[in-house]
Protein backbone atom coordinates (compact mmCIF):
# COMPACT_ATOMS: atom_id res chain seq x y z
CA UNK A 1 0.00 0.00 0.00
CA UNK A 2 1.61 3.22 -1.19
CA UNK A 3 0.98 6.63 0.38
CA UNK A 4 0.22 9.24 -2.28
CA UNK A 5 2.07 12.55 -2.26
CA UNK A 6 0.89 16.02 -3.30
CA UNK A 7 -0.07 17.04 -5.92
CA UNK A 8 -1.77 13.66 -6.59
CA UNK A 9 -5.38 14.46 -7.68
CA UNK A 10 -6.98 11.77 -5.45
CA UNK A 11 -5.87 13.77 -2.41
CA UNK A 12 -8.27 16.53 -3.50
CA UNK A 13 -11.28 14.25 -4.00
CA UNK A 14 -14.07 13.53 -1.53
CA UNK A 15 -14.23 10.04 -0.04
CA UNK A 16 -17.53 8.15 -0.21
CA UNK A 17 -19.55 7.21 2.85
CA UNK A 18 -19.78 3.46 3.43
CA UNK A 19 -23.27 1.96 3.39
CA UNK A 20 -22.08 -1.16 5.20
CA UNK A 21 -18.73 -2.10 6.72
CA UNK A 22 -17.56 -5.10 4.68
CA UNK A 23 -14.71 -7.54 5.35
CA UNK A 24 -12.93 -5.84 2.44
CA UNK A 25 -13.24 -2.43 4.19
CA UNK A 26 -11.84 -3.86 7.42
CA UNK A 27 -9.02 -5.45 5.41
CA UNK A 28 -8.26 -2.07 3.75
CA UNK A 29 -8.21 -0.41 7.19
CA UNK A 30 -5.79 -3.03 8.56
CA UNK A 31 -3.46 -2.52 5.58
CA UNK A 32 -3.72 1.25 6.10
CA UNK A 33 -2.77 0.81 9.77
CA UNK A 34 0.33 -1.18 8.74
CA UNK A 35 1.33 1.41 6.10
CA UNK A 36 0.81 4.27 8.58
CA UNK A 37 2.88 2.63 11.34
CA UNK A 38 5.63 1.76 8.85
CA UNK A 39 5.74 5.33 7.44
CA UNK A 40 5.77 6.28 10.48
CA UNK A 41 2.67 8.38 11.04
CA UNK A 42 -0.08 8.91 13.62
CA UNK A 43 -3.09 9.05 11.31
CA UNK A 44 -4.02 8.03 7.78
CA UNK A 45 -7.09 8.62 5.60
CA UNK A 46 -8.04 6.22 2.80
CA UNK A 47 -7.66 8.99 0.16
CA UNK A 48 -3.95 9.01 1.00
CA UNK A 49 -3.62 5.45 -0.33
CA UNK A 50 -5.82 6.10 -3.36
CA UNK A 51 -9.06 4.69 -1.94
CA UNK A 52 -12.07 7.01 -1.93
CA UNK A 53 -13.84 5.52 1.09
CA UNK A 54 -14.41 7.19 4.46
CA UNK A 55 -11.87 5.19 6.44
CA UNK A 56 -9.36 6.62 8.93
CA UNK A 57 -6.73 4.89 11.06
CA UNK A 58 -5.20 6.40 14.20
CA UNK A 59 -2.16 5.19 16.12
CA UNK A 60 -0.12 7.20 18.60
CA UNK A 61 1.25 7.18 22.10
CA UNK A 62 -0.37 9.61 24.55
CA UNK A 63 2.57 10.26 26.86
CA UNK A 64 0.61 12.69 29.08
CA UNK A 65 -1.99 10.04 29.96
CA UNK A 66 0.41 7.11 29.51
CA UNK A 67 -1.72 5.21 26.99
CA UNK A 68 -1.49 3.92 23.44
CA UNK A 69 -4.26 5.06 21.13
CA UNK A 70 -4.96 2.79 18.16
CA UNK A 71 -8.28 2.50 16.33
CA UNK A 72 -10.09 2.48 13.00
CA UNK A 73 -12.94 4.83 12.08
CA UNK A 74 -15.52 4.33 9.34
CA UNK A 75 -17.65 7.30 8.21
CA UNK A 76 -16.19 9.63 10.86
CA UNK A 77 -17.78 13.05 11.30
CA UNK A 78 -17.19 15.89 13.70
CA UNK A 79 -20.54 16.97 15.07
CA UNK A 80 -19.26 19.77 17.29
CA UNK A 81 -16.16 21.95 17.57
CA UNK A 82 -15.07 23.94 20.63
CA UNK A 83 -14.77 27.71 20.29
CA UNK A 84 -11.38 27.55 21.97
CA UNK A 85 -8.58 26.95 19.48
CA UNK A 86 -4.97 25.82 19.71
CA UNK A 87 -2.05 26.42 17.35
CA UNK A 88 0.18 23.37 16.81
CA UNK A 89 2.70 22.24 14.27
CA UNK A 90 1.31 19.74 11.75
CA UNK A 91 2.86 17.48 9.18
CA UNK A 92 1.40 14.96 6.77
CA UNK A 93 2.50 11.68 5.21
CA UNK A 94 1.37 13.08 1.85
CA UNK A 95 3.70 16.06 2.31
CA UNK A 96 6.84 14.38 3.68
CA UNK A 97 9.25 16.50 5.75
CA UNK A 98 6.95 19.58 5.56
CA UNK A 99 5.57 21.18 8.73
CA UNK A 100 3.59 24.30 9.57
CA UNK A 101 1.70 25.86 12.46
CA UNK A 102 -2.07 25.35 12.09
CA UNK A 103 -4.87 26.70 14.27
CA UNK A 104 -7.70 24.26 15.01
CA UNK A 105 -10.45 23.84 17.62
CA UNK A 106 -9.09 22.42 20.90
CA UNK A 107 -11.95 19.93 21.40
CA UNK A 108 -14.36 18.07 19.16
CA UNK A 109 -17.30 15.74 19.49
CA UNK A 110 -16.81 12.89 17.07
CA UNK A 111 -19.14 10.24 15.74
CA UNK A 112 -17.99 7.20 13.76
CA UNK A 113 -18.65 3.51 13.18
CA UNK A 114 -16.09 1.01 14.46
CA UNK A 115 -15.13 -2.32 12.89
CA UNK A 116 -17.90 -4.06 14.90
CA UNK A 117 -20.44 -1.74 13.24
CA UNK A 118 -21.14 0.07 16.51
CA UNK A 119 -21.78 3.82 16.39
CA UNK A 120 -19.32 5.56 18.69
CA UNK A 121 -19.79 9.13 19.88
CA UNK A 122 -17.13 10.74 22.04
CA UNK A 123 -15.60 14.01 23.12
CA UNK A 124 -11.91 14.33 22.27
CA UNK A 125 -9.31 16.98 22.96
CA UNK A 126 -5.58 17.59 22.69
CA UNK A 127 -3.33 15.81 20.22
CA UNK A 128 -5.95 13.18 19.38
CA UNK A 129 -8.50 15.89 18.41
CA UNK A 130 -5.83 17.48 16.21
CA UNK A 131 -5.07 14.20 14.41
CA UNK A 132 -8.75 13.45 13.83
CA UNK A 133 -9.52 16.91 12.43
CA UNK A 134 -6.53 16.56 10.08
CA UNK A 135 -7.58 13.08 8.87
CA UNK A 136 -11.27 13.92 8.52
CA UNK A 137 -10.24 16.96 6.41
CA UNK A 138 -8.49 14.48 4.07
CA UNK A 139 -11.81 12.68 3.53
CA UNK A 140 -13.23 15.88 2.03
CA UNK A 141 -10.13 16.56 -0.08
CA UNK A 142 -8.65 19.17 2.25
CA UNK A 143 -4.97 19.29 3.29
CA UNK A 144 -3.40 21.01 6.29
CA UNK A 145 -1.60 23.40 3.91
CA UNK A 146 -5.03 24.79 2.92
CA UNK A 147 -5.03 26.60 6.28
CA UNK A 148 -1.87 28.49 5.28
CA UNK A 149 -1.32 31.52 3.08
CA UNK A 150 -1.12 30.64 -0.62
CA UNK A 151 2.55 31.66 -0.62
CA UNK A 152 3.46 29.29 2.23
CA UNK A 153 1.22 26.51 0.82
CA UNK A 154 2.81 26.73 -2.64
CA UNK A 155 6.28 26.76 -1.10
CA UNK A 156 5.64 23.51 0.83
CA UNK A 157 4.07 21.80 -2.20
CA UNK A 158 7.06 22.82 -4.36
CA UNK A 159 9.42 21.30 -1.77
CA UNK A 160 7.52 17.98 -1.93
CA UNK A 161 7.67 17.98 -5.75
CA UNK A 162 11.42 18.66 -5.55
CA UNK A 163 11.90 15.78 -3.05
CA UNK A 164 9.97 13.43 -5.38
CA UNK A 165 12.09 14.52 -8.34
CA UNK A 166 15.32 13.92 -6.37
CA UNK A 167 14.21 10.39 -5.39
CA UNK A 168 13.64 9.35 -9.03
CA distance 80 to 83: 10
- From the candidates 61, 90, 101, 135, which is the catalytic residue? 135
Task: For residues 21 and 97, give the distance between their C-alpha atoms in angstroms, rounded to a whole number.
Answer: 34
107 carries an active-site annotation: no
Cβ-in-10-Å burial (0-12, 13-18, 19+) of 141 comes to: middle
Work out the number of other CB atoms within 10 angstroms of the CB of residue 67: 10
DSSP-assigned beta bridge partners for residue 57? 44, 72
Q: What are phi and psi of 78, to 5 degrees?
A: -95, 120
> Alpha helices of the chain — where are they, by DSSP H?
23-38, 126-139, 150-167
Hey, which residues are catalytic here?
A: 135
Amino acid sequence: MEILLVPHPVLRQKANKLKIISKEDINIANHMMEAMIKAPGVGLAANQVGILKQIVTINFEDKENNKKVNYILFNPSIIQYSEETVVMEEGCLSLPEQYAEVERPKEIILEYINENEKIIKKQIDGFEARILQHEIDHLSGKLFVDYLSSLKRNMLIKKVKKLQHLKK
